[in-house]
Amino acid sequence: LFSSNLVPEARMTFHITILGTSSATFGHGRFLTAQVANIHDRLYLVDCGEGTQLQLLKYGINANRIDRIFISHLHGDHYYGLMGLLTSMSLKGRQAPLHLHAHAPLLDVLVAHQRAAQAALQYPLHFHPLEPGQAGVIAAVPGLEVEAFPLRHGIPCSGFLFRETPKPRRIIGERLPQGMPSELIETLKLGQSVRFGGKLCAWEDMTLPPKPSRSYAFCSDTVYHPPLAEWVRGADLLYHEATYDSRLADKALAHGHSTAEQAAQLAMAAGARHLAIGHYSVRYADPALLLEEACGVFPPTWLAEEGKRFHLDIDPDMGIGLSCERLPAKLP
Ligand SMILES: [Zn+2]
Ligand SMILES: [Zn+2]
């Protein structure tokens, strides 16, 4: 339960880099859905639209540092960049295993490509099939769990929730007796008292509450679906698609998508702290209208934009703050 105490303090990063925000096709300089979550200095790629490897190069992210890839569904705008990326990883000497979480038919696609090329990847690729409607933990590493949950779209489609596991309590250094062995300190951090030097050392006296655990929820393509709020409840940052504005609500429903207003309603119902919207229809040269619409319902809304990085940081008062930076772009 408290495995996060294995994560060194300096590696407590938690940020999301947006690589693509366009729905269906390229337009207005926007790329197709892909994001990189850097959590505790490990990289997770979420969706891999065409052009994702160019975007990784452009924003200085080393693809061979990616540990896991999560693909929400098998519409092309969410995975057509995958074959190129997997192949480039191999050409660049990757040997470390890669974990791929996706709906089962993707495996047939990968196998067909390798058969046609008569070439295999030079590193182990572990395929973890997602079942339609699957809900619950699909990946766990020390300090982090990833849950899948079902979205409502034309084909099986999964959202993903990245959540830090509960953290150990914080030691109050000046209250610790001299020379206490580290095993006893670790025990105090778990909220258990210890005996040392003939005295009882109470965890209540020597520790403070743990740092809060941060969470990020990703809802790629979905109609407005109120039950989703339960899966993403309290997320510090919720990404929710906002393909259309509210005048096109009928079209959104017919095509399996949401409006910006609906994304904001979902964020509100879920008690999310912040909302990032994306997956903009190419009919919007500028998604400012979508932002305005969402902010009318849920003010802490941000536009996802290529090269934008959202940081979830723990501030000195133990609150979770969101900040944004824009990465410089390099020519691939
Ligand atoms: Zn899409
Ligand atoms: Zn789709």
Query: What is the DSSP secondary structure assignment for residue 176, as one 8-state letter?
Result: S
Which ligand has the minimum distance to the alpha carbon of residue 255? 2
Query: Is 77 labeled as catalytic in the residue annotation?
Result: yes
* Model confidence, pTM: 0.94
60 CB neighbour count, 10 Å cutoff: 11
Which ligand has the minimum distance to the alpha carbon of residue 153? 2
Per-residue pLDDT at 4: 41
Which ligand has the minimum distance to the alpha carbon of residue 241? 1
Tell me the per-residue pLDDT of 254-301, one tens digit each, with 9 for 90 and over: 999 999 999 999 999 999 999 999 999 999 999 999 999 999 999 999
Distance CA 49, CA 71 (A): 10
Per cent of the chain over pLDDT 70 is: 97
- Confidence band, pLDDT 50/70/90 cuts, at residue 115: very high
Q: How far is the CA of 258 from the centre of ligand 2 (A)?
A: 11
Q: How far is the CA of 293 from the centre of ligand 2 (A)?
A: 22
Q: How far is the CA of 73 from the centre of ligand 2 (A)?
A: 7
108 CB-near residues (< 8 Å, 6+ apart): none
The order of strands in the sheet holding 144-150 is: 136-141, 144-150, 158-164, 215-219, 237-241, 275-278, 301-303
**Which one of 77, 221, 236, 245 is the catalytic residue?**
77
Which ligand has the minimum distance to the alpha carbon of residue 33? 1
Q: How far is the CA of 42 from the centre of ligand 1 (A)?
A: 26
Question: DSSP H helical segments within the chain, as ranges?
Answer: 52-58, 82-91, 105-117, 182-189, 203-206, 228-231, 249-254, 260-270, 288-297
Q: How far is the CA of 162 from the centre of ligand 2 (A)?
A: 21
Q: How far is the CA of 77 from the centre of ligand 1 (A)?
A: 5
127 CB neighbour count, 10 Å cutoff: 14
- Confidence band, pLDDT 50/70/90 cuts, at residue 332: confident
